[in-house]
Structure 1
């Protein structure tokens, strides 16, 4: 009887250990173990950079702590305080939409491959950079970067993506309505899958109670919008600090509306929110292991020369 009892519970113990092991592996795979998919080739990097390198550049840029100006890129950074939060607003005008670029961590597409926004920015000689959509945290959601299709797996029926086309114009699509290949065939240069949209057709497209997953209502935020042809605006807000409460999505959308954005889109926020300019991170980040350090992410959007 004792042997039978021991045997019965030995099998139970082994089964439990197997389940725990399997669950641990799933968690490791989902959040930690890198899965390399595609390395950005030197040809792709060269083609992307040559698009802007071939544009005439005859004068040295004028750079201050809050601005950059040459014949192709003009940007100004304004620090504001709204809704008990430090907010950075970047007004950007470019001569060609290809100055708005993206980069992947370690120049590699894949799951859980990350670098700091500042590192990617420095490696790509970015004038200004923000964190992207952290595509590598998920196994679904369309990914097109600098005209290259990396993932054509839809997330959900209501997943809203930002499409930046070859002319630099912004639009919002639902992944259930199209494929990433179709978007690429129709001229998509960048497709980012996070959301939600904040402004569409000059109108607020997010409600006061809308939030990202289980996120808190007030957070650090990163978002980008289009005001006019080759005219963009970036907003990065701080949050989760003594000085900054953070913004809700609705408050963020109101900021874009006040700036005249025709289209605006929410990117990965919270601990990922990072604004890099002129060789340094200028916002208070809260995503590192010790709370105040910069978080490593999958990708960036940046203004490059």
Structure 2
């Protein structure tokens, strides 16, 4: 006699496959949602940064009763330079090497009449995670004559972020860079202080990326092995890459460098030790690495002067700039 396989077992097997497929689909969907929430969906913490900073300034400002308005300065602007009498920016282009070793980078020598002439601005005038806008658009919206991409703070939830004298984030995690109101700039350990302590000490802006590549006039050893973030989605900062860096020559005298890369025959990019060598050759006694790769952008007088590696600007979360 022929015996058919028991039907209940088939149904059970089918149900098991369906249930398993549903679990996988839900898991995949959950992963997709997590990734979108982590890297794509904007999380706005401050909806109007300009209003927020104006409010904070009104609370903390203590103008001197004897202060008198400064005389209007004469402004000079060319294709490669800007001066308002006290603050100046000079942009130059450098190409070294040939063939597979060719490198092209852009240098902005910046002298500040006052430390507060170097300002920060956020994408879409908002603070939070995953809020991005091209450097040139952020610059134009804030009347910048010169700008570079910043530390891409919005990619992560950690770091100390003080911008234009206002605390936005106090989550110490790494080596930071602090710009003080007296014009000096220094590398510091975020985990050994707090945003409030820095603010009380006279910090105007901080950056949280790194690493420091020059200290005391010397290239820092071992920077090629440093990891800035170990979270999912972090990309290596080693090898020949497009780079952005800020260097300190003296109080209120800075040098900004954007190195193009990943463009055969034009510019291959540089390693972090090579970036350090560029900064020391420019006279920097301290230098700090900022967000690079497709983010590396220098803006001057209404246009992007370098050639971003993506074939065009990539959105970023913040800039440093000098207003025109």
Match of 2:251 among 229, 246, 252: 229
Match of 1:148 in 2: 166
Matched, 1:178 2:193: yes
Match of 2:262 in 1: 240
1:33-84 CA deviation, whole Å, 9 max, x = no partner? 0100113142625859x99xx8635343221111112212122112111352
**In the aligned structure 2, how far is the partner of 1:206 from the partner of 1:110?**
34
Match of 2:281 in 1: 258
Please identify the structure whose Cα radius of gyration is greater: 2
Match of 1:36 in 2: 44
**In the aligned structure 2, how far is the partner of 1:86 from the partner of 1:206?**
24
**In the aligned structure 1, how far is the partner of 2:238 from the partner of 2:276?**
16
1:140-168 CA deviation, whole Å, 9 max, x = no partner? 1221111111111233xxx2111111222
TM-score (norm 2): 0.85
Q: Does the Cα contact within 8 Å between 2:178 and 2:206 map onto a contact in 1?
A: yes
Matches within 5 A, 1:160-239: 160-207=175-222, 209-210=224-225, 213-239=235-261
For structure 2, the residue ranges without an aligned partner over 5 or more in a row are 1-8, 228-234
**In the aligned structure 2, how far is the partner of 1:150 from the partner of 1:69?**
31
Matched, 1:300 2:314: no
Q: Does the Cα contact within 8 Å between 1:210 and 1:249 map onto a contact in 2?
A: no
Match of 2:23 in 1: 15
CA RMSD of aligned residues (A): 2.1
Distance 1:206 1:25, change over 3 A: farther
Match of 2:91 among 77, 82, 86: 77
Matches within 5 A, 1:85-96: 85-96=103-114
The structural deviation recorded for 1:211 is: 5.6
Match of 2:12 in 1: 4
The structural deviation recorded for 1:21 is: 1.0
**In the aligned structure 1, how far is the partner of 2:157 from the partner of 2:39?**
11
TM-score (norm 1): 0.90
Distance 1:25 1:145, change over 3 A: same
**In the aligned structure 1, how far is the partner of 2:199 from the partner of 2:26?**
44
The structural deviation recorded for 1:252 is: 0.8
**In the aligned structure 1, how far is the partner of 2:242 from the partner of 2:70?**
37
**In the aligned structure 2, how far is the partner of 1:240 from the partner of 1:26?**
30
Distance 1:65 1:138, change over 3 A: same
Once superposed, which parts of structure 1, at least 4 consecutive aligned residues long, lie more than 6 Å away?
Answer: none
Distance 1:41 1:238, change over 3 A: closer
Number of equivalences: 295
